[in-house]
């Protein structure tokens, strides 16, 4: 457990950031609350005894003050296209591990491209996309491989009962669209390509209790960045249930609403990771509640393992590369139910 170690949370007052702060406290860490809005930080800190340290990404000194004396930093502040590089730089200056919950493809790609060599040479740990999108699917695909060293294809299908996006999700999506325009990204043949055609609509055979559902194929999420960063696989495709795509596309879909005392919404999810090689197929499945809330145990479990030295590599590393994937997924109980299927 945390044993009183201090951990900076940048974007602590955001929707996901609040779940992360609560999870840190639950595990015995002492969060240092940071972010751009001093007023919201003060409101969050009032009555908790926690330290609030305002910081902005265009003021490196403020970031250095926010991270001073901490054991690590978790970046929960989107849009990550703006926050990732400055907070990584501050973590490198402080000599502490960096983790984020970014689901933005471009931000994830930039992290691997810009920091792989520097972080490795410094012996630093940088774990991007340690969240529902990017981290969980990557861990499932890695676990599904079992004793295979490579695969021909990885498919990760998201079965969401609904998708009520946070303000941060909407803002991150807008930033990605600004960078990408009307194009969409796909990973095929071992490389990225831009497409301008409509993604395919099909049916995905989710395992029980969900069963077959209409999905949008090539709905590219952060897993398509993380998986090929460490697994030898030329085709990685992600899918999203059509009802969830409709929810997030509609401007009037409300933000998630708390359905229990922990603040979780009533949204449920099933993630189905399928790996194929030479006609054989293996599968790993996870299900749980609230994609934003479940990001907190994902990133804090990762933090605990990093600080305890329970890692397989240094540098910029996806979840499945740096952690023992099956062991990590089992440790997420009761937040996530994990199964390896034939």
Calpha distance 13→182 (Å, rounded): 32
Q: 270, 76 in Cβ contact below 8 A? A: no
The neighbour count for residue 196, using CB atoms within 10 Å, is 8
Determine if the peptide bond prior to 241 is cis (ω within 30°): no
SS3 assignment, position 206: coil
Q: What is the pLDDT of residue 176?
A: 86
Using a 10 angstrom Cβ sphere, with 0-12 exposed, 13-18 middle and 19 or more buried, the burial of residue 303 is buried
Tell me the angle at which helices 80-94 and 60-67 cross, rounded to the nearest 10 degrees.
Answer: 60
Q: 31, 7 in Cβ contact below 8 A? A: yes
Q: What is the pLDDT of residue 97?
A: 98
Q: What is the pLDDT along the chain (342 residues), one digit of tens a residue?
A: 777 999 999 999 999 999 999 999 999 999 999 999 999 999 999 989 999 999 999 999 999 999 999 999 999 999 999 999 999 999 999 999 999 999 999 999 999 999 999 999 999 999 999 999 999 999 999 999 999 999 999 999 999 999 999 999 999 888 888 888 889 999 999 999 999 999 999 999 999 989 999 999 999 999 999 999 999 999 999 999 999 999 999 999 999 999 999 999 999 999 999 999 999 999 999 999 999 999 999 999 999 999 999 999 999 999 999 999 999 999 999 999 999 998
CA-to-CA separations, 16 to 33, 89, 95, 294, in angstroms, rounded = 13, 22, 25, 9
Q: 265, 259 in Cβ contact below 8 A? A: yes
What size, in residues, is the chain?
A: 342
Q: What is the pLDDT of residue 175?
A: 86
Helix %, strand %, coil % for the chain, to 5?
35, 25, 35
Match 């999108």 to its residue by tokens. Answer: 133
Go through the domains of the chain in sequence order and give each one's CATH number.
6-130+296-322 (3.40.50.720), 132-291+327-341 (3.30.360.10)
CA-to-CA separations, 20 to 25, 30, 210, 239, in angstroms, rounded = 9, 11, 28, 26
Q: What is the pLDDT of residue 179?
A: 86
Tokens matching residue 203: 């049916």
Q: What is the pLDDT of residue 180?
A: 87
Calpha distance 192→43 (Å, rounded): 43
């Amino acid at each position: 457990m945390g044993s009183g170690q201090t951990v900076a949370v940048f974007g602590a007052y955001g929707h996901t950031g609040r779940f992360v702060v609560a999870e840190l406290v639950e595990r015995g860490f002492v969060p240092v609350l940071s972010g751009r809005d001093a007023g919201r930080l003060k409101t969050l800190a009032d009555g908790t005894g926690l330290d609030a340290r305002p910081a902005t990404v265009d003021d490196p000194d403020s970031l250095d003050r926010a991270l001073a004396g901490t054991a690590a930093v978790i970046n929960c502040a989107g849009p990550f296209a703006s926050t990732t590089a400055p907070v990584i730089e501050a973590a490198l200056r402080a000599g502490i591990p960096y983790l984020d919950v970014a689901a933005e493809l471009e931000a994830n790609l930039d992290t691997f491209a810009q920091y792989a060599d520097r972080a490795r040479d410094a012996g630093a740990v940088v774990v991007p996309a340690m969240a529902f999108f990017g981290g969980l699917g990557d861990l499932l695909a890695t676990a599904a491989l079992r004793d295979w060293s490579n695969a021909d294809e990885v498919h990760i299908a998201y079965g969401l009962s609904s998708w009520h996006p946070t303000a941060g999700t909407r803002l991150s999506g807008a930033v990605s669209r600004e960078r990408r325009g009307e194009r969409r990204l796909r990973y095929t043949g071992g490389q990225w390509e831009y497409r301008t055609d409509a993604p395919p609509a099909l049916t995905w055979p989710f395992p029980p209790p969900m069963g077959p559902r209409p999905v949008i194929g090539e709905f590219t999420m952060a897993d398509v960045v993380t998986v090929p960063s460490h697994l030898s696989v030329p085709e990685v495709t992600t899918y999203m249930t059509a009802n969830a795509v409709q929810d997030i596309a509609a401007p009037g879909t409300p933000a998630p609403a708390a359905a229990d005392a922990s603040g979780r919404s009533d949204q449920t999810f099933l993630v189905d990771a399928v790996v194929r090689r030479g006609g054989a197929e293996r599968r790993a499945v996870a299900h749980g509640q609230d994609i934003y809330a479940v990001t907190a145990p994902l990133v804090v479990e990762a933090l605990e393992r990093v600080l305890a030295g329970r890692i397989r590599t240094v540098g910029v590393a996806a979840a499945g590369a740096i952690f023992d994937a099956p062991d990590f997924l089992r440790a997420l109980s009761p937040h996530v139910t994990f199964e390896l299927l034939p």
